[in-house]
Chain A
Amino acid sequence: MFVIKRLLFVLLVVWSASTITFFIPRISDINPIRERFAELARLGGFSAGELEKIVESYSKAFGLDKPLMQQYFDYIGGVMTLDFGVSLNKFPKTVLMLIAESLPWTIGLILVTTILSFVIGNLVGALAAWPLSPKWVRGVSTSFILFQGVPPVLLAILLIFFVAFKLNILPIAGAYSIGTVPDFTFEFLLDVARHQILPGIALIFGSLGTWVLSMRGMGITIQGEDYVIFAEHKGLSSYTIFKDYYLRNALLPQVTALALALGNVITSAIVVETIFGLPGLGFVLITAIRSNDFLVIYGIVLFITIAVAVLMALVELLYPLLDPRVRQGQE
């Protein structure tokens, strides 16, 4: 029942997001096709009369001459089958093809950095608050909070300048070295991994501070809870208390925070990708924005919305497994 409710909610989110992305460009007077060809016309080539003809024929091709409601239903139908239309700029390619090409890069980066940052950040935060941690552990882990003030973007630029440019240890940008052929050989994968280190570090450390800070706060609250004190009265080892009585409970709100942070994670990944010139979703999006490729922009925005909604639903479905109190009334 709970699962069905959640999935219906995801559908609702997707529907509202697609409706909004449908209407916003149509509210404005700007006709993306005219804009595109007007730009070409300015560069020289054809006259104004020809321009109108071209716009008309393109509008027909994209179905923009149909009544608004008809367009809307076509669009929603398209979204349901993951058909976001075609790229204006790279014409025969569909938006879905562009997403499919770039997605693996983004997913790989986001998945690894989010998991690492969540695990490391929460562990460090828990240690920072745990009264039995050695003094130096508490000192070092608390200082991780400083990263909270450093956005991944800034970190990315600093890393490029110092590590890649000054020290020249790691590649400055790109997904793999120029001249190599994408292939599933060990050398190529190693090359890809080397290119992912700096963007990975930028993303991990960019979100680490928040986890450390919030976990430390949570930990300070939890260690004063009666059940932690009773666990000490029971004579449990400090390892058991740390793991099952302290960390386990302090993590619960952090999982909720993870669901809320997903949107942020994806946005910063997009920016960092662009800075490092990785051919991921962010790169495609920036290219589309620069070339006024409206359908690609809206397609990617919509796709990200769907992805965040689905991921949030997944985290929420995971939550009852962690907290039995949430399970009640859902079984």
Chain B
Amino acid sequence: MEHLLDITGLTVSYYTDIGRAIALNQVDLRLKQGEKLGLVGESGSGKSTMGLAMMRMIKPPGKVEGGSVVIGGVDMLQLSDKEMLKRRLSTISYIPQGAMNSLNPVLKIKRQMIDAYRAHYPDHKLDQIMDLAHEAMRSVELPEHVLEMHPHELSGGMKQRVCIAIGILLRPQIIIADEPTSALDVVTQRQVIETLNRVQQKIGSALILIGHDMGLMAQSMDKVAVMYAGEIVEINDVQTVFTSPKHPYTQALISSLPRLQNRGEFRGIPGMAPSLYRLPSGCRFHPRCNQQQPQCQTTSPRKSVFEDEKYVTCHLYEAT
């Protein structure tokens, strides 16, 4: 089957006064239509940068330095700025992290939806747009009168739903949700994720959920990609990631999750994530790895690809 999303060798750096920070290094990712992928990793591991790079929204001092983001046969990184403007929201949409402040405080919800719609279809009639707006509101389970309200009149969960409604308005092929639940309480979190899942199923798009809530990932995603210091170290089925993780980092991550059995005892991962300005030689994880090999310090591991675009980047699995 042809892949809907094909990211190859995506590299992004930020240039600041203290030097070059490599935020994404040669990242590969493939997704099929309707697939749901969870993108997890510590803060600064490159999750959000990846989402932004796919939207082509990396701003100076950041720079996309290589690779391709092919969606439905078209490389987003090769499009003109104007064409990319048309692709945002219609081909690939991004549901932001800070839903609390992502809506313009002085405009009605209705107006913000119409704006989004008109940017892509300037000559559509207002009734037509309103029909779609009503439909979008129904699919995120918000009453239609919310359209007539201003953002400050809505609760946090409602605002997040409005953001989702805007995100799916044009039925994009890929939805990127960047920690859409980070500012919400657990009950609302679950509702929002369920809404997201339902609308994703309804419009049949692929979903990339960025976050660090492993529980949320386990409940609703098909695959999980684990990022460490700007690289994807492992992509696997949710099942496999949780029961038999391959990469030592994934193993350490999973074993650090609190469980019912080992109550009262938490195991973290020793050491700190490396600075993106001074990355370790060889495998980026080797200083913290408990299964270190001699070659880890000197050579970067290659991808060991399994079936269905799953892979792990570790010397332990390299076919010798």
Contacts and interface: CB of A to CB of B under 8 A. Distances in A.
A235 B83 CA distance: 10
Given A225-B101, A235-B85, A328-B152, A240 B106 contact: no
Contacts of A229: 57, 96, 102
Interface string B147-170: 000101100000000010010000
Contacts of B205: none
A236 B88 CA distance: 9
A237 B103 contact: no
Dominant SS among interface residues on chain A:
helix
B138 interface: no
Contact of A325 (B98, B105, B116): B105
Interface string A216-228: 0000000001110
Contacts of A322: 106
A237 B85 contact: yes
Interface in B49-101: 55, 57, 59, 85-90, 93-94, 96-98, 100-101
B197 to A, nearest CB: 21
Central interface residue in A232, A233, A237, A248, by most chain B CB within 10 Å: A233
B152 to A, nearest CB: 5
A226 B98 contact: yes
Chain A CB within 10 Å — which of B57, B87, B93, B101 has the most? B101
B115 A244 contact: yes
Contacts of B120: 235
B102 A226 contact: yes
B269 interface: no
A182 interface: no
A67 interface: no
Interface in A224-261: 225-227, 229-237, 240, 244-245, 248-249, 252
A325 B89 CA distance: 28
Interface in A2-16: none
A227 B96 CA distance: 9
Given A233-B89, A234-B89, A328-B152, A227 B115 contact: no
B57 A233 contact: yes
B85 to A, nearest CB: 5
A323 interface: yes
Contacts of A234: 88-89, 115-116, 119, 166
Nearest to A325: B152
A233 B93 contact: yes
A237 B119 contact: yes
**What is the predominant secondary structure among interface residues of chain B facing chain A?**
mixed
Contact of A244 (B88, B107, B166): B107
B103 A235 contact: no
Interface centre among B55, B115, B153 (most CB of A within 10 A): B115
Interface residues of B, number: 31
A235 B106 contact: no
B176 to A, nearest CB: 9
B105 A227 contact: yes
Most chain B beta-carbon neighbours within 10 Å: one of A230, A231, A240, A245: A230
Interface in B98-126: 98, 100-107, 115-116, 119-120
Contact of A235 (B96, B100, B102, B119): B119
B88 A227 contact: no
A179 interface: no
B104 A244 contact: yes
Contacts of B163: 230
Contact of B104 (A232, A233, A237, A245): A245
Given A234-B115, A244-B115, A328-B152, A227 B101 contact: yes
A200 to B, nearest CB: 32
A236 B93 CA distance: 13
A226 B100 CA distance: 9
A232 B85 CA distance: 8
Contacts of B96: 226, 229-230, 233
Contacts of A249: 104-106
Nearest to A240: B115
Contacts of A225: 101
A236 B86 CA distance: 9
A229 B57 CA distance: 9
A235 B105 contact: no
A48 to B, nearest CB: 70
A240 B115 CA distance: 8
A235 B86 contact: yes
B106 A230 contact: no
A227 B162 CA distance: 13
Contact of A324 (B57, B102, B115, B152): B152
Given A226-B98, A226-B101, A235-B86, A324 B106 contact: yes
A230 B86 CA distance: 15
B55 to A, nearest CB: 6
B58 to A, nearest CB: 12
A236 B116 contact: yes
A230 B100 CA distance: 12
B101 A235 contact: no
A297 B7 CA distance: 77
Contacts of B88: 232-235
Q: Which 6 A-B pairs have the closest CB atoms?
A: A235-B88, A226-B101, A230-B102, A234-B116, A226-B98, A324-B150
16 contacts: A227-B102, A227-B105, A231-B104, A233-B57, A233-B96, A234-B89, A234-B166, A235-B85, A235-B120, A237-B119, A244-B107, A245-B104, A249-B105, A324-B152, A325-B105, A325-B150
Interface of B: 55, 57, 59, 85-90, 93-94, 96-98, 100-107, 115-116, 119-120, 150, 152-153, 163, 166
Given A235-B119, A245-B104, 19 more contacts: A225-B101, A227-B102, A229-B57, A231-B104, A232-B57, A234-B88, A234-B89, A234-B115, A234-B119, A235-B88, A236-B116, A237-B85, A240-B119, A244-B107, A248-B104, A249-B104, A249-B105, A325-B105, A328-B152
